[in-house]
Amino acid sequence: MAGALLNTLRLIRAGFVLAQHGVRFVPNGMPVPLPLKIARAATVPIRIVTAPFRKDEPRATRVASALAELGPSYVKLGQFLATRADVIGPELSADLRHLQDKAEPFSMAEARSAVERALGGKLEDHFVEFGPPVAAASIAQVHKAYVIENGLKKAVAVKILRPNIEKRFYRDLDSYYFAARMIERFYPPARRLKPVAVVDNLKHTTDLEMDLRLEAAAISEMASNITNDEGFRVPEVDWRRTAKRVLTVEWIDGTPISHREILEAKGFDTGALGMTVLRTFLRHAMRDGFFHADMHQGNLFVDDTGKIVAVDFGIMGRLGLAERRFLAEILHGLITRDYYRAAAVHLEAGYVPPHHTVEEFAQAMRAIGEPIHGRTAEEISMADLLGQLFAYTEVFDMQTRPELILLQKSMVIVEGVARDLDPHLNVWIAAEPVAKEWMESNLSVLGRLKGAGRGAETIGDILMRTPGLLQKAEQAIVGFSEMAKSGLRLDDATLENLASRSRRSRAADIALWIAALGILAIALMLYGAR
């Protein structure tokens, strides 16, 4: 019960900060149940009290300012919600896309201490020079340093986790879980959106980001995937100077990809660079099932050879074979106007329940795809089309897929970077060869033979485990047989245990109701805030 009250207080504080900045989290036109309308009337005094404290700032920056004030975990939450226009509405979702993950750097003394704890010894044992932070975000900051390799002085980038960041994040995550469970329990229509699963996804991503050895492994894996690719590379990892809280990689001396004028002055073809950015991302997603999920302009550079270099691999996305086929077929279906095939993929993959027909979903696909034909490249956004596609999830009872949400968010970012390099870039021309290549490789006769080989391996694995499975089945049957003969017995200890659980359940229900009232008050205060 104490945990429920603490989480409620944390959420109330968040509600006041959001109200101060005039943030509204309930989309216009969204129906509000009668109990919430009644509760909203009760929160009028709260809105009156907070009105004088509201900050006068542009609407587009209100959300970013509020989340920055609430702390790093709320910044990460905001980045996640930017992909969920179906939950928070397109207006707020668009505002969140401008959210920048920037923070005040921590001190050089703390950075030195972190390096020495992580790598052992003195900082000078590892680096001949160690400079001040060059970038600081919610989870970590980066320093430029130098090492001696083969007798030569070499520049490296050293990423260090913020002190005590894990404790702060997991405390706030606990309150997110609490709110998500309340929403699922007391507002059934939201269960389809899987709010708890969304928080699960946030936690999983955060767990990965807070172990820098995993980021190093992600860089290494992508380096292996792109060995034969042209026009794109990743930094080299310095494994000797990498630990859970410290990551050391090659320093990238390149031109930020956002500096289009400088790139053109250096003689680089920005149109070709834009095509490379988009095709690289799609190739990683479809071919490898492993993509950089934070490819914004601050994480991309162009080196002197004209190659694009990505940095900051803290957020990565993975797609299984079924998801990759889904993406390739969707893109190919929209490009070729084969809406029936694109719709059939959804049902085959299980994204659309079988009580809907292929023809019905093909009609929805046509509504999305037809308007793009005959329009200029500048008017077509692949990311927006994916967003429209996901907007049909409620109509066709499609369950939320976190991996596809991350893909769409990444597509929005990558498409924006590519269009900044070439405003006339036709995303469909860029995407067509990548989708076609994947389909030929995986859905051709040779591809199907490869798939059959993978299926044979799976069958062989099942056959190898059959004796153990049969033994467990036999044990279960014997157990049920004994139960049938002697009956199901409940001794005094078992009954007392059940009674104790019942008492704890009632106490938990009381706590949940208290917390639910607090959450309703926050929600309705936000509903009325501007």
DSSP codes joined into one string, 435-504: HHHHHHHHHSHHHHHHHHHHHHHHHHHHHHHHHHHHHHHHHHHHHHHHHHHH-----HHHHHHHHHHHHH
Orientation of helix 59-70 relative to helix 72-81, angle to 10°: 140
Count each helix (H run) and each strand (E run) in the chain, helices first. 21, 10
**How many residues would you count in the chain?**
530
Q: What does the alpha-carbon distance between residue 403 and residue 401 come to, in Å, rounded to a whole number?
A: 6
Residue 5 vs residue 1, higher pLDDT: 5
Q: What percent of the chain has pLDDT over 90?
A: 28
Task: Please give the structure tokens belonging to residue 480.
Answer: 């049920």
Please give the helix or strand (H or E) that residue 70 lies within, else none: helix 59-70
How crowded is residue 49: how many other Cβ atoms within 10 Å of its Cβ?
A: 11
Q: What does the alpha-carbon distance between residue 468 and residue 412 come to, in Å, rounded to a whole number?
A: 48
How crowded is residue 365: how many other Cβ atoms within 10 Å of its Cβ?
A: 27
Q: What does the alpha-carbon distance between residue 440 and residue 447 come to, in Å, rounded to a whole number?
A: 7
Residue 358 has pLDDT above 60, yes or no: yes
- In 3D, which of 194, 239, 256 has the Cα closest to residue 403? 194
- In 3D, which of 295, 233, 231, 299 has the Cα closest to residue 268? 231
Q: What does the alpha-carbon distance between residue 259 and residue 404 come to, in Å, rounded to a whole number?
A: 30
Which residues carry out catalysis? 294
User: CA 232, 403, 337, 282: dihedral to nearest 10 degrees?
Assistant: 0
- In 3D, which of 289, 251, 484 has the Cα closest to residue 406? 289
Instruction: Name the band, by pLDDT with cuts 50, 70 and 90, for residue 522.
Output: very low
Please give the helix or strand (H or E) that residue 508 lies within, else none: helix 492-528
How crowded is residue 19: how many other Cβ atoms within 10 Å of its Cβ?
A: 24
Dmax (CA) for the chain in angstroms is 87
Q: Is 56 helix (H, G, I), strand (E, B) or coil?
A: coil
| Contact present, 341 and 333 (Cβ < 8 Å) | yes
Q: What does the alpha-carbon distance between residue 296 and residue 257 come to, in Å, rounded to a whole number?
A: 9
Which of 215-229, 381-395, 411-425 shows the highest mean pLDDT? 215-229
| Contact present, 511 and 6 (Cβ < 8 Å) | no
What's residue 444's pLDDT? 53
Helices (H), 154-248: 165-186, 195-209, 212-225
What's the whole-model pTM score?
Answer: 0.70
Cα-based angle 316, 201, 80 (whole degrees, multiple of 5): 75
Q: Which residue has the tokens 């980045």?
A: 79
| Contact present, 386 and 282 (Cβ < 8 Å) | no
pLDDT tens string 165-202: 888 888 888 888 888 888 778 777 667 667 787 788 77
Q: What percent of the chain has pLDDT over 70?
A: 65
Cα distance between the two ends of the chain? 33
What's residue 51's pLDDT? 60
Mean pLDDT of 396-422: 78
Q: What is the mean pLDDT of the chain?
A: 76
Beta bridge partners of residue 233, listed in sequence order: 309
What's residue 528's pLDDT? 43
Task: Please give the structure tokens belonging to residue 103.
Answer: 């923070």
Enumerate residues 6+ apart whose C-beta is below 8 A from 514.
Answer: 1, 4, 5, 8
Task: Please give the structure tokens belonging to residue 502.
Answer: 């019942």
Report the range of poorest mean pLDDT among 225-229, 308-312, 389-393, 493-497. 493-497
Q: What does the alpha-carbon distance between residue 192 and residue 412 come to, in Å, rounded to a whole number?
A: 24
